[in-house]
Structure 1
Amino acid sequence: MTNTLKISLKPNEKIYINGAVIRVDRKVTIELMNDVQFLLESHVIQADQASTPLRQLYFIVQVMLINPAGADDAREMFRRSLPLLIASFEDAEICSALKQIDRMVGEDHIYEALKAIRSLYPLERRALGGNDDVPGAPRPLAVGARY
Protein backbone atom coordinates (compact mmCIF):
# COMPACT_ATOMS: atom_id res chain seq x y z
CA MET A 1 0.00 0.00 0.00
CA THR A 2 1.69 3.19 -1.09
CA ASN A 3 -0.77 5.53 0.61
CA THR A 4 -2.74 5.28 3.78
CA LEU A 5 -6.37 4.30 3.46
CA LYS A 6 -9.13 5.80 5.59
CA ILE A 7 -12.27 3.77 6.15
CA SER A 8 -15.33 5.18 7.90
CA LEU A 9 -17.47 2.78 9.86
CA LYS A 10 -20.95 3.21 11.31
CA PRO A 11 -21.94 2.15 14.83
CA ASN A 12 -21.99 -1.67 15.23
CA GLU A 13 -20.43 -2.17 11.79
CA LYS A 14 -17.78 -4.87 11.39
CA ILE A 15 -14.57 -4.93 9.42
CA TYR A 16 -12.38 -7.96 8.88
CA ILE A 17 -8.67 -7.11 9.03
CA ASN A 18 -6.06 -9.83 8.54
CA GLY A 19 -8.51 -12.40 9.86
CA ALA A 20 -9.56 -10.40 12.92
CA VAL A 21 -13.19 -9.34 13.23
CA ILE A 22 -13.50 -5.83 14.58
CA ARG A 23 -16.82 -4.25 15.54
CA VAL A 24 -17.03 -0.58 16.40
CA ASP A 25 -19.52 0.81 18.91
CA ARG A 26 -19.71 4.29 17.40
CA LYS A 27 -18.99 6.06 14.16
CA VAL A 28 -15.25 5.95 13.58
CA THR A 29 -12.68 6.42 10.89
CA ILE A 30 -9.87 3.90 10.74
CA GLU A 31 -6.66 4.78 8.95
CA LEU A 32 -4.79 1.77 7.58
CA MET A 33 -1.18 2.83 7.33
CA ASN A 34 0.39 -0.32 5.93
CA ASP A 35 -0.48 -3.36 3.83
CA VAL A 36 -3.40 -5.29 5.27
CA GLN A 37 -6.03 -7.61 3.95
CA PHE A 38 -9.45 -6.27 4.88
CA LEU A 39 -13.08 -6.74 4.02
CA LEU A 40 -16.00 -4.55 4.95
CA GLU A 41 -19.03 -6.22 6.49
CA SER A 42 -21.18 -5.06 3.57
CA HIS A 43 -19.00 -7.12 1.21
CA VAL A 44 -19.23 -10.35 3.20
CA ILE A 45 -21.64 -12.97 1.90
CA GLN A 46 -22.99 -15.92 3.85
CA ALA A 47 -22.87 -19.47 2.50
CA ASP A 48 -26.58 -19.42 1.69
CA GLN A 49 -26.06 -16.30 -0.44
CA ALA A 50 -23.55 -18.13 -2.66
CA SER A 51 -26.35 -19.00 -5.06
CA THR A 52 -24.55 -18.64 -8.40
CA PRO A 53 -21.19 -19.92 -9.66
CA LEU A 54 -19.46 -16.54 -9.24
CA ARG A 55 -20.97 -15.98 -5.81
CA GLN A 56 -19.69 -19.42 -4.82
CA LEU A 57 -16.23 -18.45 -6.05
CA TYR A 58 -16.51 -15.18 -4.12
CA PHE A 59 -17.37 -17.10 -0.96
CA ILE A 60 -14.32 -19.35 -1.40
CA VAL A 61 -11.99 -16.37 -1.90
CA GLN A 62 -13.62 -14.53 0.99
CA VAL A 63 -12.70 -17.41 3.31
CA MET A 64 -9.03 -16.84 2.44
CA LEU A 65 -9.28 -13.35 3.86
CA ILE A 66 -11.66 -13.83 6.77
CA ASN A 67 -10.31 -17.14 8.07
CA PRO A 68 -6.52 -17.31 7.68
CA ALA A 69 -6.49 -20.71 9.42
CA GLY A 70 -8.68 -22.09 6.61
CA ALA A 71 -6.96 -20.17 3.83
CA ASP A 72 -4.95 -23.13 2.54
CA ASP A 73 -8.07 -25.27 2.20
CA ALA A 74 -9.94 -22.41 0.54
CA ARG A 75 -7.03 -21.82 -1.84
CA GLU A 76 -7.07 -25.50 -2.81
CA MET A 77 -10.83 -25.35 -3.38
CA PHE A 78 -10.28 -22.24 -5.51
CA ARG A 79 -7.65 -24.07 -7.59
CA ARG A 80 -10.00 -27.01 -8.17
CA SER A 81 -13.06 -24.85 -8.86
CA LEU A 82 -11.65 -22.21 -11.17
CA PRO A 83 -11.00 -24.42 -14.24
CA LEU A 84 -14.52 -25.84 -13.93
CA LEU A 85 -15.94 -22.36 -13.65
CA ILE A 86 -14.03 -21.08 -16.68
CA ALA A 87 -15.22 -24.09 -18.68
CA SER A 88 -18.83 -23.44 -17.65
CA PHE A 89 -18.96 -19.92 -19.10
CA GLU A 90 -19.00 -19.15 -22.80
CA ASP A 91 -18.72 -15.39 -22.21
CA ALA A 92 -15.17 -14.39 -23.21
CA GLU A 93 -15.21 -11.35 -20.92
CA ILE A 94 -16.04 -13.48 -17.88
CA CYS A 95 -13.42 -16.09 -18.79
CA SER A 96 -10.75 -13.44 -19.28
CA ALA A 97 -11.62 -11.80 -15.97
CA LEU A 98 -11.51 -15.17 -14.19
CA LYS A 99 -7.96 -15.68 -15.46
CA GLN A 100 -7.03 -12.27 -14.04
CA ILE A 101 -8.69 -13.21 -10.76
CA ASP A 102 -6.58 -16.37 -10.71
CA ARG A 103 -3.48 -14.20 -11.06
CA MET A 104 -4.67 -11.88 -8.27
CA VAL A 105 -5.25 -14.78 -5.90
CA GLY A 106 -1.88 -16.27 -6.85
CA GLU A 107 -0.24 -12.96 -5.96
CA ASP A 108 -2.24 -12.82 -2.70
CA HIS A 109 -4.25 -9.77 -3.81
CA ILE A 110 -7.40 -11.16 -2.24
CA TYR A 111 -9.31 -7.91 -1.83
CA GLU A 112 -8.72 -7.02 -5.47
CA ALA A 113 -9.87 -10.50 -6.51
CA LEU A 114 -13.07 -10.12 -4.51
CA LYS A 115 -13.70 -6.73 -6.06
CA ALA A 116 -13.15 -8.18 -9.54
CA ILE A 117 -15.54 -11.07 -8.85
CA ARG A 118 -18.24 -8.66 -7.65
CA SER A 119 -17.84 -6.65 -10.85
CA LEU A 120 -18.73 -9.79 -12.85
CA TYR A 121 -22.13 -10.32 -11.20
CA PRO A 122 -24.07 -8.38 -13.88
CA LEU A 123 -22.35 -10.35 -16.66
CA GLU A 124 -23.08 -13.59 -14.86
CA ARG A 125 -26.73 -12.62 -14.43
CA ARG A 126 -26.95 -12.03 -18.18
CA ALA A 127 -25.10 -15.27 -18.98
CA LEU A 128 -27.42 -17.25 -16.69
CA GLY A 129 -30.50 -15.76 -18.27
CA GLY A 130 -31.15 -13.09 -15.68
CA ASN A 131 -32.68 -15.41 -13.08
CA ASP A 132 -30.17 -14.63 -10.32
CA ASP A 133 -32.69 -13.42 -7.77
CA VAL A 134 -35.91 -14.99 -9.01
CA PRO A 135 -37.53 -17.19 -6.33
CA GLY A 136 -37.80 -20.76 -7.50
CA ALA A 137 -35.31 -20.27 -10.33
CA PRO A 138 -32.86 -23.14 -10.78
CA ARG A 139 -29.65 -22.65 -8.84
CA PRO A 140 -26.31 -24.33 -9.47
CA LEU A 141 -25.40 -26.89 -6.87
CA ALA A 142 -21.67 -26.29 -7.10
CA VAL A 143 -19.13 -24.10 -8.80
CA GLY A 144 -18.91 -25.23 -12.38
CA ALA A 145 -22.41 -26.68 -12.45
CA ARG A 146 -24.23 -26.17 -15.72
CA TYR A 147 -27.93 -25.95 -16.40
Structure 2
Amino acid sequence: MALKLSLKPEEKLVINGAVIANGDKRTTLVVQNKASILREKDIMQEQEVTTPARHVYFPIMLMYMDEKNYSQYYDAFVLRMTEFMGAIGAPEVLNMCVQISQDVMARNYYKALMNCKKLIAYEAEVMNGSQ
Protein backbone atom coordinates (compact mmCIF):
# COMPACT_ATOMS: atom_id res chain seq x y z
CA MET A 1 0.00 0.00 0.00
CA ALA A 2 1.38 3.40 -0.99
CA LEU A 3 1.93 6.22 1.49
CA LYS A 4 0.83 9.67 0.35
CA LEU A 5 2.63 12.62 1.96
CA SER A 6 1.58 16.23 1.55
CA LEU A 7 4.48 18.55 2.27
CA LYS A 8 4.16 22.18 3.22
CA PRO A 9 6.46 24.71 1.56
CA GLU A 10 10.03 24.39 2.93
CA GLU A 11 9.10 21.29 4.98
CA LYS A 12 11.81 18.67 5.41
CA LEU A 13 11.61 14.94 5.90
CA VAL A 14 13.98 12.02 6.13
CA ILE A 15 13.50 8.96 3.94
CA ASN A 16 15.85 6.04 4.67
CA GLY A 17 18.42 8.45 6.07
CA ALA A 18 18.28 10.98 3.21
CA VAL A 19 17.15 14.48 4.18
CA ILE A 20 14.71 15.84 1.62
CA ALA A 21 13.62 19.49 1.60
CA ASN A 22 10.51 20.66 -0.18
CA GLY A 23 10.65 23.78 -2.33
CA ASP A 24 8.53 26.88 -1.99
CA LYS A 25 5.20 25.23 -2.98
CA ARG A 26 3.03 22.56 -1.42
CA THR A 27 3.97 19.14 -2.82
CA THR A 28 2.56 15.64 -2.65
CA LEU A 29 4.82 12.59 -2.66
CA VAL A 30 3.68 9.01 -3.02
CA VAL A 31 6.01 6.40 -1.56
CA GLN A 32 5.33 3.10 -3.30
CA ASN A 33 7.36 0.73 -1.10
CA LYS A 34 8.40 0.26 2.54
CA ALA A 35 10.68 3.05 3.73
CA SER A 36 11.66 4.69 7.00
CA ILE A 37 10.08 8.14 6.84
CA LEU A 38 10.05 10.89 9.44
CA ARG A 39 8.67 14.38 8.98
CA GLU A 40 10.64 17.33 10.29
CA LYS A 41 8.25 17.69 13.27
CA ASP A 42 9.02 14.11 14.37
CA ILE A 43 12.80 14.41 14.16
CA MET A 44 14.51 15.11 17.45
CA GLN A 45 17.99 16.57 17.52
CA GLU A 46 20.41 15.34 20.17
CA GLN A 47 20.42 18.71 21.95
CA GLU A 48 16.63 18.39 22.38
CA VAL A 49 17.02 15.23 24.49
CA THR A 50 16.53 17.04 27.79
CA THR A 51 13.91 15.01 29.70
CA PRO A 52 13.42 11.33 30.61
CA ALA A 53 10.64 10.80 28.04
CA ARG A 54 12.79 12.38 25.33
CA HIS A 55 15.58 9.99 26.36
CA VAL A 56 13.13 7.18 25.56
CA TYR A 57 12.08 8.72 22.21
CA PHE A 58 15.58 9.37 20.86
CA PRO A 59 16.91 5.79 20.66
CA ILE A 60 13.63 4.61 19.10
CA MET A 61 14.02 7.28 16.44
CA LEU A 62 17.60 6.15 15.82
CA MET A 63 16.52 2.50 15.53
CA TYR A 64 13.92 3.54 12.98
CA MET A 65 16.33 5.60 10.91
CA ASP A 66 19.43 3.37 11.28
CA GLU A 67 18.28 -0.21 11.75
CA LYS A 68 21.73 -1.66 11.01
CA ASN A 69 22.92 -0.27 14.39
CA TYR A 70 19.78 -1.51 16.13
CA SER A 71 21.49 -3.26 19.06
CA GLN A 72 23.41 -0.13 20.11
CA TYR A 73 20.22 1.95 20.16
CA TYR A 74 18.11 -0.85 21.65
CA ASP A 75 20.36 -1.06 24.71
CA ALA A 76 19.97 2.70 25.27
CA PHE A 77 16.21 2.37 24.82
CA VAL A 78 15.95 -0.45 27.39
CA LEU A 79 17.97 1.51 29.94
CA ARG A 80 15.96 4.70 29.49
CA MET A 81 12.57 2.96 29.42
CA THR A 82 13.44 1.02 32.59
CA GLU A 83 14.41 4.27 34.34
CA PHE A 84 11.23 5.99 33.12
CA MET A 85 8.95 3.17 34.22
CA GLY A 86 10.63 3.07 37.62
CA ALA A 87 9.69 6.70 38.21
CA ILE A 88 6.07 6.48 37.01
CA GLY A 89 3.16 5.37 39.16
CA ALA A 90 0.21 6.07 36.88
CA PRO A 91 -1.13 2.74 35.54
CA GLU A 92 -2.27 4.23 32.21
CA VAL A 93 1.22 5.64 31.59
CA LEU A 94 2.85 2.34 32.55
CA ASN A 95 0.53 0.60 30.08
CA MET A 96 1.63 3.05 27.41
CA CYS A 97 5.28 2.22 28.23
CA VAL A 98 4.54 -1.49 27.87
CA GLN A 99 2.87 -0.84 24.49
CA ILE A 100 5.86 1.20 23.31
CA SER A 101 8.21 -1.59 24.40
CA GLN A 102 6.12 -4.18 22.55
CA ASP A 103 6.14 -2.03 19.42
CA VAL A 104 9.93 -1.67 19.63
CA MET A 105 10.38 -5.44 20.07
CA ALA A 106 8.15 -5.99 17.02
CA ARG A 107 10.19 -3.34 15.15
CA ASN A 108 7.10 -1.14 14.71
CA TYR A 109 9.24 1.92 15.38
CA TYR A 110 6.96 4.53 13.87
CA LYS A 111 4.05 3.40 16.04
CA ALA A 112 6.35 3.39 19.08
CA LEU A 113 7.46 6.94 18.27
CA MET A 114 3.90 8.23 17.99
CA ASN A 115 3.02 6.65 21.35
CA CYS A 116 6.22 8.02 22.84
CA LYS A 117 5.08 11.52 21.85
CA LYS A 118 2.17 10.91 24.26
CA LEU A 119 4.72 10.17 27.01
CA ILE A 120 6.48 13.44 26.22
CA ALA A 121 3.15 15.31 26.43
CA TYR A 122 2.31 13.58 29.74
CA GLU A 123 5.72 14.47 31.12
CA ALA A 124 5.27 18.11 30.07
CA GLU A 125 1.91 18.24 31.87
CA VAL A 126 3.44 16.80 35.06
CA MET A 127 6.40 19.17 34.91
CA ASN A 128 4.03 22.12 34.46
CA GLY A 129 1.99 21.02 37.48
CA SER A 130 -1.13 20.26 35.46
CA GLN A 131 -1.36 16.70 36.71
In the superposition, the TM-score normalised over structure 1's length comes to 0.76
Structure with more helix by fraction: 2
Assess, with a 3 A threshold, how the Cα gap between structure 1 residues 25 and 64 changes in structure 2: closer, same or farther.
Answer: same
1:78 and 1:94 mapped to 2: Cα distance? 17
2:90 pairs with 1:117: no
> Is the 2:55–2:80 contact (alpha carbons within 8 Å) kept by the matching residues of 1?
no
State how many pairs are aligned: 128
SS at match of 1:45: coil
Match of 1:138 in 2: none
**TM superposition shift of 1:123:** 2.1
In 1, the alpha carbon distance for the partners of 2:10 and 2:40 equals 10
Unaligned runs of 5+ in 2: none
Q: For residue 128 of structure 2, what is the aligned residue in structure 1? A: 130
Unaligned runs of 5+ in 1: 132-147
Q: Comparing 51-60 with 4-13, which one deviates more in the overlay? A: 4-13
Aligned to 1:34: 33
1:10 paired residue number:
8
Which shows bigger deviation, 97-106 or 44-53?
A: 44-53
Structure 1 counterpart SS, 2:35: coil
For 2:92, the aligned partner's letter is E
After TM superposition, give the deviation of residue 106 of structure 1 in Å. Answer: 0.8
Match of 2:19 in 1: 21
> 1:66 corresponds to which letter in structure 2?
M
Seen in structure 2, the aligned counterparts of structure 1 residues 92 and 105 have a Cα distance that, compared at 3 Å, is: same
Pairwise CA RMSD: 1.9
| 1:79, distance to aligned residue in structure 2 (A) | 1.9
Residues 19 and 68 of structure 1 are in contact (CA less than 8 Å); yes or no, is this contact kept in structure 2?
A: no
Aligned to 1:108: 107
Aligned identity (percent) is: 27
Q: Which amino acid aligns with 1:126?
A: E
Deviation at residue 103 of structure 1 after TM alignment:
0.6
CA–CA distance in structure 2, aligned partners of residues 33 and 94 of structure 1: 35
Runs of 4+ in structure 1 displaced over 4 angstroms? none
Contact 1:20 1:66 in 2 (8 A): no
| 3-state DSSP of counterpart to 1:120 | helix
Quote how far apart the aligned CAs of 1:21 are: 2.0
Q: Following the alignment from structure 2 to structure 1, what is the Cα–Cα distance between the partners of residues 22 and 121?
A: 32
